[in-house]
Structure formats: structure tokens, C-alpha cells
Structure 1
Amino acid sequence: MNAMTSFDQFKTVQAAQICPIHKTEMIKFGPTAQCKACAIELVKQGNIEHDAAVNEMVRKNHFAGAKLPERHAECGFKNYAVNNHGQQYAKETCLKFAKLINSGSVANLIMVGRTGTGKTHLACAIARNVLDARKFARYVTSEQMATDIADAWKKADDSEASAIYRYTEYDFLIIDEYGLHDQHEKLLQLVHKVLYARYDAKKSTMIISNWTKEQLQQSLGDRLWSRFQHDGLTLVECNWADARIGSGVGGV
């Protein structure tokens, strides 16, 4: 069978059939009869499904890069339990902050207060909003970040400067558990280097701590505290009861 014969068998010819949907004559392409309009719709549908699958894969990878804690991966503003005025204020303030970041503004947020008050839940809700806007966000504890940067010293293909840059390039960085396991002088210096770098790069940062505002301010020092306020600082103090010992989702 030569090339011409192989091609000829797939020539289109009119079929003695009418498309029940479009009421037009069907054509044969090889052994198959098909309506032109149906064929076009199938191709379009295939393209739509392919694009949707690709977009979903990209979205999953985008969210995975944020490294949100598994327990808080689905935390949003809608499933944050509001049982008092403080929680209502915290939710509204964080929602406004998320919208501010998504508008392209640079701002910083500090959440302080006792454990189990929903600080991490709201932080992840902000991150999910930022990620949905196709910006880059990252969650990390203060100790994890400092340790990661310190470990770069031991790697031939890495350096402290490169590690700090990795934490600087995110549009929005959440630093959780500040003051819990990071108060060794060398670890604290590394955390502060990231904060200085993000200030210089005009990037938005969120710090979460169980300390009071005064304790956090003292640890950061006057220079960092001043820089943290420069682009606009939102402070939320969470001093209501620990919801982990009850049934409120907001304390997660």
C-alpha cells in the first residue's frame, strides 16, 4: 500500500445520515460518520477539559509550594469560628489585610496572644487568599527558617545568602512561633536577617507569636520594629480563651 492509497482511505465523503442534534448531513472520515458541528464541539470540549486539568495541576503545585501545615491546609475565613468580638475583629482585620496584599500594596501583620486562639488558622486563610490571586506565599516557623538557613553553611551548593534570598522572594511570608524555639542568639540573628532583607525588598511579612506586643517589640529591637511599621503595620492581639480545649474551630 503506497502513501497515496493510505491517505485516500481517510478522505471525507458525505454519509447517508443526518445528525439528530444539528439536523445536518454527516460526513465520513475513514470508517466513522460524524457531524461537523459535533466534531468541533468535541474538540473544544477536549481542549477545555485539558486546560482545566492543567490549571488544577498548576494550582495544586502552587499551593504545595506554600507549605501550609496539613492541619491548616483548608483553613479559610468562612470556617473560622467567631464566638466573641475579639475573634470578629481578628477575622475582619485579616480579611482586609489579604485584600490589601492582593491589591499590590506592601504591608506587615503581627498577631500576638495566647495559644489556641486561631492565629495560625487566620494566617493560613490569608495565605490561601494570596495564593488564589496567583501570588507566592510561604508558611514557616521561626525555628524552621533559621535552621534551614544555618544548614546552608554545610552544603557545597548553598550559602547563607542564597537561603535568605529564598525566603525573601515570596510575596507574602508567614513566620509562626516567633519566640518559641528561636531565641538562641545565632538563630535569632538569622531570623532578623530575613526580616531586614524582606524590608529592603518591599515584601509583606506576617509574624505570629504567643508573646505580648511588648515582648515581641523588645526582641525585634528598635531598628527592626521601626522598619516593620514603615510600610504599614497591622497588629492583632488575641487574648480570648484557648479554643483547642473546647469545640471552636477558630482556635485551631
Structure 2
Amino acid sequence: MNAHFQLNGFVKSNEVCSLHKTQKILAGGNLICPMCANEFLAAEKSKQQAETNKAVFEKHIAGAMLPDRHAYSAFSNYQTRTQGQANTLNQCANYAQRISEKQCSNFIMVGSTGTGKTHLACATAKNLLKKGLKARYITSEEIAQRIMNAWDRDSKDQSEEAVIYEFAQYDLLIIDEYGLHDREKRTELVHKVLTKRYDSKKPTMLISNFTLKKLKDDLGDRLWSRFQHDGLTVVECNWNDARVINQ
């Protein structure tokens, strides 16, 4: 039979753990190794933390409102057939890294349809979401509509100012399809969001089918200057439409 004795408040046995070579203690009628017990508790804590992190990530990914078509878009599955595509991929990956390091700078991708701009934007968002940051994808038309919808509501927290403030809170706001909306008033509303993010020192990724010159003209001198203030990366996607190529 195993001998038992009291030591430091625990009933210890002369039975030794074959793994850790330490004496087992009597707990709940069972002999256990303290080191095995600690490793089990650490593993359980790690498992619980992983489950918590997963839940937070899933909540953030849902809040990011990424298009269903890009549910699996990532840096790793973006196809680079040209040097321009490879450069754009690297620029986006580097930008995600800078944002994760709390650097406030903006990013512009311009070019024709089917060049993978939205794919890379969503990949950038996912990269940040996995690091616990909050990113949001939205089109410029949707931004304008959200603000205009607030005009018809009586609730104070749904005012125009509240909607604009909401868009200023994300660690990264991705505005896609800039320019594909009715002009004048809607453009002014999108510019209000861009200005608020500038004032809040929050980075923005702006995507458009405009040429770079047309985008500059549309933003105007003042907003274009602000967009460059904390650093700006500009990528022109001038390769062929991949959607047509793959058909």
C-alpha cells in the first residue's frame, strides 16, 4: 500500500508521477500529480481563451459586413499573374501590418473592374480582424444612404452626426465603389465621413473605378490634402479584367 503523509497542507503519497517524477497528492480521493494538474488547468484556460478569441473574431467579422462573395478572400489566394498584381498584394499586406501597429495612414486603389481590388480590401480587413482590430467594409452609396435614412428618424442616436460618428470609430474603414452613386449631395455625405475620420486620426482605404486624376478632382484640394497628411499609399490597378479572363 502507498504511504501517505501531510506536507504543506496537502496529503502526499510516496507514489511518484512517471512523467514528472514528482510525488502525487491525495485530492478528492484520488492521487494526482500537481504538475499534471497544473498542465491540465493551463490547457483548459488556453482552450477557453481560444474559444473566447474565436467568438470575438466571429463577432467582429460579422460587424465588418464583408461581401459574401469574398468570404474566403485572403492574401494567400490572391492570384498574381503580373508584376503589378504582385506589387499591389505586397502593398496591401504591408498596409495591414502598419495599421496593426497603430500607424495612421490611408490607402487608395483605383482601376477598372475585375482587377481584384475588393478581394485585397477584404483580405486586408480579415488580417486586422484576426488581430483583434475592428474593420468595416461598405460602399460609398451605402454610406450616403445610411446618413440619409437618419434624416427620417426621430431617435437622437440615429441622427446624421451619430451615423458619421459611428463610421469614425473603426480601426479601418474600407469604402468601395467610390463614385458609383448619385453626385452632389451624396458625394458631400461621403466626404463628411472621410473628414471625420481624418479629424479622428483613423485610416481609410478608398477604392474606386475612377482614374487617379478624376478621384483627386472629385475629392477636391482640401480633402485630398487631408488624405495625404498622415501618409498615403496609392495603387493603380491597370491590368485586365480577371472575371473575363476566367470565363
Instruction: Report the TM-score range of the alignment, normalised by the length of the smaller protein.
Output: 0.7 to 0.9
Show the counterpart of 1:242: 241
Deviations 1:203-234 (A, max 9, x none): 11111111211222222222222222222222
Q: How does 1:1-252 map to 2 (within 5 A)?
A: 19-22=17-20, 26-155=24-153, 156=155, 157-180=157-180, 182-247=181-246
Query: What TM-score comes out, normalization by structure 1 length?
Result: 0.83
How far apart, CA to CA, are the structure 1 residues paired with 2:126 and 2:229?
A: 25
Query: SS of 1:140's equivalent?
Result: strand
For the aligned residue pairs, the C-alpha RMSD in angstroms reads 2.4
Q: In structure 1, list runs of 5 or more residues that go unmatched.
A: 1-10
Relative to structure 1, the CA distance from residue 16 to residue 145 in structure 2 (aligned partners, 3 Å threshold; closer, same or farther) is same
Shift of 1:66: 1.8
* AA of the residue aligned to 2:151: W
* AA of the residue aligned to 1:214: K
Q: Contact 1:140–1:176 (CA<8 Å) still a contact in 2? A: yes
Relative to structure 1, the CA distance from residue 233 to residue 37 in structure 2 (aligned partners, 3 Å threshold; closer, same or farther) is closer
Q: In structure 2, list runs of 5 or more residues that go unmatched.
A: 1-8
Shift of 1:31: 4.2
Relative to structure 1, the CA distance from residue 142 to residue 26 in structure 2 (aligned partners, 3 Å threshold; closer, same or farther) is same
**Equivalences, count:** 237
* AA of the residue aligned to 1:165: Y
Deviations 1:72-130 (A, max 9, x none): 23322221111012212212222232233233222111111110000011112222233
Show the counterpart of 2:4: none
* AA of the residue aligned to 1:226: S
Which deviates more from structure 2 when the two are superposed, residues 16-25 or residues 190-199?
16-25
Query: What TM-score comes out, normalization by structure 2 length?
Result: 0.84
Q: Contact 1:12–1:30 (CA<8 Å) still a contact in 2? A: no
Which deviates more from structure 2 when the two are superposed, residues 141-150 or residues 43-52?
43-52
* AA of the residue aligned to 2:177: E
Shift of 1:244: 1.2
Query: SS of 1:211's equivalent?
Result: coil
How far apart, CA to CA, are the structure 1 residues paired with 2:137 and 2:96?
A: 15
How far apart, CA to CA, are the structure 2 residues paired with 1:228 and 1:18?
A: 67
How far apart, CA to CA, are the structure 1 residues paired with 2:29 and 2:239?
A: 73
Relative to structure 1, the CA distance from residue 227 to residue 14 in structure 2 (aligned partners, 3 Å threshold; closer, same or farther) is closer
Which deviates more from structure 2 when the two are superposed, residues 167-176 or residues 93-102?
93-102
How far apart, CA to CA, are the structure 2 residues paired with 1:247 and 1:37?
A: 58
